[in-house]
Each structure stands twice: as structure tokens, then as C-alpha cells.
Amino acid sequence: MLIPGVHGEIHITRMAHGFPRIQAHSQRDQCYGLGYAHGMDRQMHMWLLKLIGRGQASEKLMGSDDLIVVDRYMRWIGVAAEAEVEVAQLSPQSQAILDAYCQGVNTAVQASKTPWEFRMVGYKPDAWTPADVLLLAKLIGFVGLTQSQGEMEKFIIELLRKGVDVPRVKELFPTITEEIDDEYINLLRQVKLDSPMIPDSVQWHHLLPSFHASNNWAVSPARSASGKAILCGDPHLALQLPSIWYETLLQIGDEYTMGATLPGVPVMVLGRTRHLAWSVTYGTMDSIDYFIEEVKDCRYRRGDDWLPLKVREETITPKKKAPITLRVYETEHGLLEGDPAETGDGYYLSFAWSAKQKGGTAAESMDGFARLKEAQTTTQALACFADLTFAAFNWVMADDQGDIGYQLSGLYPIKAAGTSGLLPYKGWDTVHDWQGYADPHDYPHALNPANGLLVTANQDLNELGTVRPMTLPMSDYRSDRIRQLLLEKEKLTPADMRRIHYDRYSLQAELFMPLIRPLLPDTENGKRLQNWDLRYDAESLGATLFERVYRAIVQIVFGEQGIGAEVMAHIMTKTGLFAMLHGNFDEVLRQETSAWFGEQGREALLRQAVERGLAETAVPHAQTRRTTIYNFFFGGQLPRWMGFDYELAHIGSRATVPQSQIFEAAGRPTSFAPSVRIICDLATDEMHTNLPGGASDRRFSKYYTSGLKEWETGVYDIWQP
């Protein structure tokens, strides 16, 4: 296909699974072509995200109660208005890129039919603008990253309010450094909790891009069979149709950039050029805090003074329903949770988010990505990634000169001395205020480590920096397993990397089975678990039995012995909290003694778990992992035979390299999974890749579910300029 661009003709060719190769003669035309491709293939995808980010879904699509909740939440966060303001902060280079990209999007949308789903609800997309690009960047930085940190800190608050004693809370969250006395707990109990977090039961919650877990790694030339560095990555997200990613190859003359983009944003999030390759994982930075605010007559206390709350009114006009007026209150710290005009004086939480407090992070991050296009070395790339303040990500990179590097991005607030940031601060005490922001060059980072390996899998990487921004990292099972596999061979190849991507051996099971084996009975199930090879294969009975025993011990120790069986069951099955915090729970379970074990002790509780976990007939692991990838507009509301959804067996566990943590959200199963896989050997101009879905968001396009079978079975496409 030939289309006219800003300066000249653009050549677009469909490649594997419908994804495009875009050839142009200038960077602006390249961006125009990418926008055109996004607009042609992902109009539905892009405008749904835009409407949700703006808090207009109930106005433009349907006035359901679920969408009203989502709109209230997004209006409360207020990122859409901030994105409009940040457009003026773009550099001339970034402004030109975004203008060309948006022009391409809008040209494609004008030349194509409005998606029938939008016609069904009477909505016609408006123009795509640079503010919409920045809005999506802000959503990526908040949902699943900042929001997850906030939800985990809210969980700590709830534990203390519900009477879980301090020793047990600190055992579960050992990074809490503060003393917690009865006076502080009584204060927490007086706080009017009115969380505006989107309930997991709300449909369309899944539409927001939510990075929960990922792996990426790089090996130096000394460890590579080709004599050049190798870069690998597989960001884990909740699966959806169409796939959240949109692969593309952009080429100007002999120079190219290829990899995965997010529709709506002209940025190559992970991929490579001739000289450089990079990938990304969730960085677990604590960029938020809660502050307890004392409120009286719509004023809040600061020292001995009472300051007026800043009030913003938002009006939501849901379809076929009366308008809704939402009052949003702010203090110097952040957004107040609740409406004191309705619920009266008292103590409230305010939500402080560094990217919101500082402002401008999306615009300045666009500048960082623009410079990345010109970077040719790992050293240059490290500087670009350090400037990406919009979100906390672990970036790993490698170049064709043999250097490998790692950099944490984000905006980390300097917290009060001696505090962890995991407990709410007293907002009236100015000693608890943030003291500016840490220098990104003090964050965890690395260049050419002595062992020639860099691995991130959302684990604790604080030791690589002079500040410690990771307060709730995930377990290190995956990172340790990847490192273990990388060290098994002297010289590594792309084929080795493919095997690592699909490795389903569990280091978690390796640690727990020595505790469980001595307690196993001489029964059929007991023998099966006794002889299990610790691999989550589709036909494995041992994997099923281990999961049953493991979930039973968690439920007994932390539910029945702790916060309540129903509460713990809800956390494990209806939210993503346990998926993120399982490492914290495991650290307690692996101790010989713990306040959580009570008088019975660990062995007695493990015996109960073994008995409970082995009580039922074992079935193959794959039967327990059936899940569905849902169409992101209908979300499972249509009959399966219509082909909008795709069913598969999601093999693995929380501890295997390809994560499989199934829980419910929006009333249906969801899971973390590798949303795209890439392998780049810098000795070639190739990128090996697979992802679950094709280029189109149109159900009846051959590029809708294209690539899913290959993703399931480990078949990679090889891209090259």
C-alpha cells in the first residue's frame, strides 16, 4: 500500500499476522505511517482507552452503573485534564512527532468505517490529538503500576484496622520500619475509608493497560555463541483480544526500528534498532503515599493552621440517566478520598502520587523516547531511560558494541527519614512531607556486570542503587530461575532463550517440597506428589496436587489463623493482591517459627494442608488452568460460538518463567501472561517474536486471533529489515 505522508510517499506492507512494515523517507512520515496503521487496525482499541481515560465511557457508550463507577474514578484521578495541560510542555521535536502521528491516525479513521460496535451505541470517534497520546501514557503509568502499590498499601491499612497484631503485620511486610503503637492504630480506625479504586467486579476494568509482572534479561558477548550481546523480554499483562501490543517495523533507508507499540502512542516500548535492543518490566517503585488528613468544615489541618480544601467539580452525564456531580477535594499532599461535605468532619486519606504532584511527566517522557530513537549505545540509552518519569519500569538493554545495561525509571519521592512509605503519614505534621524527588541516577542501575548477566523479573533490585525505591517487590523465583538457566550453558543462542521463555520448572515448589514430602501419606495422591518433577506440564498431576496443598496452607495460616477464611479466599481468588504479594506470604511460611503459626506450629498446620490438598482425585494441570481471552468490548457477554473470545489452557504458576496466576476480575477469570516475547541477538538484524493475537481489533478479520496458536506452542516469527 502506498499512501501520501507529510513530506512524501509511505510504503506499508503486511507481514506476519497482519502487522506492518512501514517504509518512509523522513521521521515525520514514519510517524504518520504508524498512526495510519494504528488508525486502520485499532480504532476500537484506541478510542475505548481514550473514553475510559477521559471518564466519558458512560456518556458516549452506555449509561451502565459499571461504567459510571469507572467514569467517577477517572474523573477523580483527573489525568485527562493534566494531559491537555502537558501538551504545551512538549519539546518541538516531540510535538512534531505527535502531530504527524495524530494526522496519520485521523486520516485512516476518516477513510474507514466506524466500527459497528460504536455504531451500535451511537458513538462516532472524534479526532485523535497529542493530548490523547499523553493521556494514554499517564494511564500506563498509573494502572497496574502506581495503582497496584496503592492497593497493597491499602491492604496493610486494613490489616491493622481489623486487629491483626503488629508483629504479624511486620512479619508479612518486613520493609515496614516504623514503630506502630496503639495510638496510631486507633487513629487508623477513625479514618473514613472511602476508596475510589475501581472495584474488581466492575466490567471494563480490564480495558486499562495493566502491567503486573514481566521478565527481561541480557547476556554479554562473552556468554553468547554469536560473540554479540543478546536481549530478551516478555512483559506480562492480562490477556485480551485484540492483543494490547501492535508490532511494527519502521524503516528509513537502511536504518530501522522494530518491536511492539501500544496503539495510540508513537513509541516503540520494546524492540530494537540496528545498534540497540531494549525491553521492559514493572519496576515496583513506591511512587505513592497515603496521608491522614484531619478535616473540619471542609478545611484540613497543617500544623496549627486550617487550610481550605481545593475543590474541583466534575459533571458526568450518563446516557439516559440524570447528570451526576462529583466533587473532588485536594490537599497539598494529593487527592482526598471521600466527600467531607457529605460525610462530615473527621479523618480522611489523601492519595499522593509523585507523577501527579510534579506534573509534566508524560511530556518529558516523550522527549526521552524521542532521544531513544537516536541512541546507538547502551550508555546513551541509560540516560534516555533515566529521564522517563511517567512510570516505574525496569529497562534492560544491549548494544552491538557488546555493552549491556539496566535502569529503573520513574519518579521517586524522598520520604521522611526513618519511614518506609508503607504506612499513612500524619498530614498535619510537616516533618512527614516529601522532600523533593530522588535523582534517577541514584536509582538501581547497572552497566556490564562482572558475570555478564542482567535479569529483572519484578524482584528486589535496591542493592543496585543508592536509594531504595522498591518497597513491595515481587518474589525472586522467576529471576533466580532465569539466571540459573542462563548459567547452565557457556555459550547461549536464541534457541536457548526460547526454551527459557517457556520453562515451567518451579523454584517455589523446589523450596516447599522438602517441607511437604515428609508429611505425605502412602496413598495414590501422596505418591504422585512425592514423585513430582516440579514442572508445570499440561498433563502433570503433581502440579495440581502441589497447588492444592500450597493454597490450603496459605488459607489455613493467613485466613483461618489470621484475617479470616472468607477474607483470605477473596484476596486469593477475586483480586490481584495475592498474585503480587505471594513472595511476602511465602517468606513467612518458610520460617520454622512465626507469630502466624499460633500454638500449633508450622508442621501441624502443614499436615492439615496436606490432608486437605490431597483429599480429592487429581486431574491434569491443564484442566485446572482453562481460561478465556475475552474480547475487550463485549467482555464475555456473547456466546462462545460467535468467536469473539478464545479459550486456552494457561500452563504454569506464580513462580514459573511464564507466569500463570489465575484470579477473577470483572466477574471472570483473568491472568498475568507473557503478552509479547522478543529475542534479539545483536550479531544479526533479526528479532524473534510471538504474541497472543494479530494486528486487527475486528472479530471477522483474519488478523484478529492470528498468532495465538504460535504463542501457545512456542513458535516464533523472525522479523528483519
Q: What is the pLDDT of residues 485-524, one digit of tens each?
A: 999 999 999 999 999 999 999 999 999 999 999 999 999 9
Q: Are 621 and 536 in contact (CB under 8 A)?
A: yes
Give the per-residue pLDDT at 577: 85
Domain assignment present for residue 617? The answer is yes
Residue found under cell 480544601: 309
- Between the two ends of the chain, the Cα-to-Cα distance in Å is 17
Collect the ranges in the chain with pLDDT lower than 50.
Answer: 196-207, 209
Closest C-alpha to 294, from 191, 419, 161, 405: 191
Q: Is residue 321 part of a domain?
A: no
For residue 619, the model assigns a pLDDT of 97
Position 199 scores a pLDDT of 45
Spell out the residues 6+ positions from residue 542 whose beta carbon is closer than 8 angstroms to its own: 528, 529, 531, 532, 533, 534
Can you tell me whether residue 231 is helix, strand or coil?
strand
| Residue 582, domain extent | 507-624
Position 207 scores a pLDDT of: 47
DSSP per residue over 337-395, as a string?
SS-HHHH-SEEEEEEEEHHHHH--HHHHHHHHHHHHTT--SHHHHHHHHHT-TTS-EEE
d(CA 487, CA 669): 36
Q: What is the pLDDT of residue 342?
A: 93
- The answer to whether residue 115 is domain-embedded is no
Residue 377 lies in a domain: no
Q: What is the SS3 assignment for 79?
A: helix
pTM higher than 0.75, yes or no?
Answer: yes
pLDDT reported for residue 144: 65
Say if 363 falls within a structural domain: no
Report the alpha-carbon distance of residue 549 to residue 210 in Å, rounded: 30
Sequence-distant (6+) residues with CB within 8 A of 139 are: 49, 52, 53, 79, 208, 209
Note whether residue 32 is domain-resident.
no
DSSP track, 427-438? TT-GGGS---B-
Cell 533490585 -> residue: 461
Instruction: Give the DSSP H or E segment for 603.
Output: helix 602-613
In 10 A of CB 489, how many CB atoms? 11
Number of domains present in the structure of the chain: 1
DSSP state of 556: I
Residue 220 Cα to chain centre, angstroms: 27
The one-letter code for the residue type at 704 is: Y
604: in domain: yes
Question: Checking phi first, is residue 225 left (phi over 0); if not, alpha (psi -120 to 50) or beta?
Answer: alpha
In a domain, 105, yes or no: no
